[in-house]
Amino acid sequence: MTGSESAANSPLLTLEGLRKAYPGVVANDNVSFTIRPGEVHALLGENGAGKSTLVKMIYGLVKPDRGEMTLENAPFTPANPAAARAAGVAMVFQHFSLFNALNVAENIALGMDNPPSPRDLSDQITQVSEAYGLPLDPTRIVGDLSAGERQRVEIIRCLLQNPRLLIMDEPTSVLTPQEVEILFHTLRKLTSEGTAILYISHKLEEIRSLCEHATVLRLGQVVDTCDPREKTASELAEMMVGESLHIPTRAKRDLGEVVLHLDGLSLPPSSSFGTSLKDISLELRAGEVLGIGGVAGNGQDELLTALSGEILAPAGAVCLHGNDIGALGPNPRRELGLLTAPEERLGHAAAPDMSLTENALLTGAVRENLTTHGFLKWGSVKDFAEKIIADFDVRTPGPENAARSLSGGNLQKFVIGREILQRPEVLVVNQPTWGVDASAAASIRQALLDLAAGGAAVIVISQDLDELMEISDRFTALNEGRLATPRPAQGLSVEDIGLMMGGAHDMHEAEAST
């Protein structure tokens, strides 16, 4: 069945007047739309627009305060995710729920309500994964898998339930361009068989190429619908934010002296499933933005922790302004002007149950002078938190709210803003706009460019190649803990980038010698 044929069929899922409110905020208000069999339906909106709450209601994680859902013309009121799965609704979450120490089959069994025997399950995994172009060995240990392979585990777990509706939340945020193509091939095969897909993504070009219909949320309400294939990415973004989208601009700037110097940085993995850093060397100048690409799991986290001081480095391997800082921990490095923002928002960049005020204090105490003789200056701490919220448009009722109460994109704006406002001499950020909507992503990228224009040196570690090409002066890539030779970002081809991500570390030298 094709998407066009399915459009003539009766609706698969109908939402009518759904509302969900929490103290101080209405997450969804009178939301109504229809999803048809065999359709890829995009759900668009800024962070905090209500997308997550809406899909949680469909998946049985949240009960609506008002409104009705109908699945194949029958009332649909899932009390929990198990009830939703039993009705034919499956969901692939943005954050994977997998155990590194278990193999693929064991992880899939844990996510099934009634798993078959281990032998039968392994056979089913092999058959389904091959049928949908997602080859997966059921005996592989999950900790040894790439990010793309881990996503396959989540998808196969859903497909084994024969879903009629598959919800996907930011499914390509950790995938290479090649893996995205494989995923899209799988999704198109599913829709040809009649499965409907509800697709959430901030990557608007993907929405345009994959989806047939889009529902746009703003502040919890449906504000527009369209066929995204007939819109430009800019038009879709403007529908989401209700105004013209800001395009980051790069000011002309002369690079200054070398601020950060890495010389043969080698470190063992920090965990059983980590990646060792192998002989990493680079120079970073004042006013420069260095983009570091690569597939997840190739040493990005290890490099950031080595730069932050969470892991100490060998003598002479990490130098700031010519001074060896390898033996210094995070706070002394921050005092010297080397600041970092890690990928994991909750638990690493921010303490989930602490307020935004307290989270502002965690990294800002030294550079913002938030203590006196060991006593906290709570007035100054609150002022700092409020400035972050105001300057970076963090959507929250106030600084007393816990970090976990923010949407992912708003927490990311808070984390990035907290570091930028401390006026770093070197800022290292990992996945600065991961899961962030187009408007917020543009704002964060502009803030990083402005920081560099002011003379700071910036390292951006990201799996979003478009982002890196947009803001980087030079580009390099991590592969199995090795760093490719940095090259000017302007003029790099997709083939060049692919080679660097694939491990062609000495490509530039090889070209120079020919």
Q: Please say if the pLDDT value at position 312 is more than 90.
A: yes
pLDDT tens track for 243-295: 776 777 777 778 999 999 999 999 998 777 788 999 999 999 999 999 999 87
Burial of 276 (0-12, 13-18, 19+ CB in 10 A): middle
Q: Out of 377-386, 393-402, 405-414, which region has the weakest mean confidence (pLDDT)?
A: 405-414
Q: What is the mean pLDDT of the chain?
A: 90
Instruction: Tell me how far apart the alpha carbons of residues 264 and 150 are, in angstroms, rounded to a whole number.
Output: 31
**Confidence band of 114 (pLDDT split at 50, 70, 90):** confident
Question: Which is it for the CA torsion 481, 487, 489, 492, positive or negative?
Answer: negative
Candidates 209, 210, 180; CA nearest to 197 is 210
Instruction: Tell me how far apart the alpha carbons of residues 207 and 294 are, in angstroms, rounded to a whole number.
Output: 23
Instruction: Tell me how far apart the alpha carbons of residues 141 and 103 are, in angstroms, rounded to a whole number.
Output: 4
Paired with 163 in beta bridges are: none
Domains of the chain and CATH, by start:
3-241 (3.40.50.300), 258-513 (3.40.50.300)
Contacts (Cβ under 8 Å, ≥6 apart) of 483 = 280, 281, 282, 292, 476, 477, 505
Instruction: Tell me how far apart the alpha carbons of residues 251 and 255 are, in angstroms, rounded to a whole number.
Output: 12
